[in-house]
């Protein structure tokens, strides 16, 4: 079965996959994941090292204010939208959840500025839940391996993966797929020749036909 071979190969490549974002609380993780959209984890970690010295709780973040927050997170890109999301989310946490990050998907995505991918990352890494967060890497690899359709949305991709990935392996699978997409199955110049998944990869088969 395709998924069995994929999981076996990912286990071979990544024995101890992990979240590359640095955080010391549920709230810090939530902020870091919001900042990581279209930005490298490495850059986010540099920014949050300074940010969390000043504001590591919802109230402190609101006290920091919009202008100062924009200034600090500027290197992460899209700082206007990210500032709005972080402050709205922080305000929601205070007004609706006593400043505590909720552990359920429904409650997390009810926070302003928090999408499904962000919520799933928090559930997996802050609360030990078994979820599959679909970022650009997971989506790309899933399409190339024909685990989801080429025109699928991230949500559709998540649903497709949840059908085939064993419940107890979902969060581990997510981390492995992210690493695999970053290091091997890259958007540009994927390392197909060295990949053990060539015989089940639709992308490789299509590329071989063109050549």
Catalytic residues: 117, 135
If you search the block for the tokens 């992990």, which residue do you land on?
18
With beta carbons less than 8 A apart as the criterion, state whether 74 and 80 touch: no
Which of 39, 20, 94 is CA-nearest to residue 61?
94
- Alpha-carbon distance values, 29 to 18, 64, 99, 190, 210 (Å): 13, 18, 14, 30, 43
Sign of CA dihedral 47, 50, 55, 56: positive
Sign of CA dihedral 70, 72, 75, 76: negative
């Amino acid at each position: 079965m395709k998924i069995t071979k994929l999981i076996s190969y990912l286990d071979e490549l990544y024995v101890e996959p992990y979240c590359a974002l640095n955080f010391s609380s549920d709230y810090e993780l939530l902020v870091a994941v919001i900042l990581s959209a279209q930005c490298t984890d490495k850059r986010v970690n540099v920014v949050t090292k300074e940010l969390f010295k000043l504001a590591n709780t919802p109230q402190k973040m609101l006290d920091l204010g919009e202008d100062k927050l924009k200034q600090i997170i500027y290197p992460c890109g899209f700082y206007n939208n990210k500032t709005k999301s972080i402050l709205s989310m922080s305000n929601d946490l205070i007004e609706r959840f006593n400043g505590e990050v909720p552990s359920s998907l429904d409650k997390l995505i009810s926070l302003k500025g928090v999408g499904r991918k962000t919520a799933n990352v928090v559930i997996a890494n802050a609360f030990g839940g078994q979820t599959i967060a679909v970022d650009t890497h997971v989506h790309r690899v899933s399409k190339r391996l024909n685990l989801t359709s080429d025109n699928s949305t991230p949500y559709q991709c998540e649903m497709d993966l949840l059908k085939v990935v064993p419940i107890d392996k979902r969060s581990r699978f997510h981390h492995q797929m992210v690493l695999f997409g970053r290091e091997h199955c890259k958007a540009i110049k994927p390392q197909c020749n060295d990949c053990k998944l060539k015989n089940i990869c639709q992308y490789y088969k299509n590329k071989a036909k063109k050549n």
